[in-house]
Amino acid sequence: MGLPLDLVLVRHGQSEGNAAMQLSRAGNDDAILEVYKNRHSASLHLTEKGRSQALQAGKFILNEFFKESIGFDRYYTSEYLRAIETAGLLHLPGAKWYCDFYLAERDWGQLEACSETERKEKFGQELQQQIDEPFFWRPPSGESFAELCLRVDRVLDTLHRECDGGRVLIICHGEIIRAFQTRIERLSQMRFKELFKSNNDFDHIYNGQIVHYTRRDPGSDTICPSMGWVRWIRPTESPATTSGWRVISRPQYSNAELLNIVR
Spell out where 81-198 has E strands. Answer: 97-100, 167-172
46 close to 14: Cβ distance less than 8 angstroms: yes
63 close to 99: Cβ distance less than 8 angstroms: no
213 close to 227: Cβ distance less than 8 angstroms: yes
Distance CA 9, CA 211 (A): 5
pTM to 2 decimals?
A: 0.95
pLDDT at 20: 87
Is pLDDT at 112 greater than 90 in this prediction? no
Position 29 confidence tier, pLDDT thresholds 50, 70, 90 = confident
Q: Just give the CATH number of 6-262.
A: 3.40.50.1240
pLDDT at 23: 87
Which residue from 208, 203, 198 is spatially nearest to 237, judged by alpha carbons?
208
pLDDT at 22: 87
pLDDT at 42: 93
The proportion of the chain whose per-residue pLDDT surpasses 90, expressed as a percent, equals: 81
pLDDT at 103: 98
Question: What is the average pLDDT across 94-118?
Answer: 93
Position 69 confidence tier, pLDDT thresholds 50, 70, 90 = confident
Is pLDDT at 147 greater than 90 in this prediction? yes
Question: What is the average pLDDT across 140-158?
Answer: 97
Q: Would you kindly state where each structural domain of the chain is located, as residue ranges?
A: 6-262
Question: What is the average pLDDT across 236-257?
Answer: 94
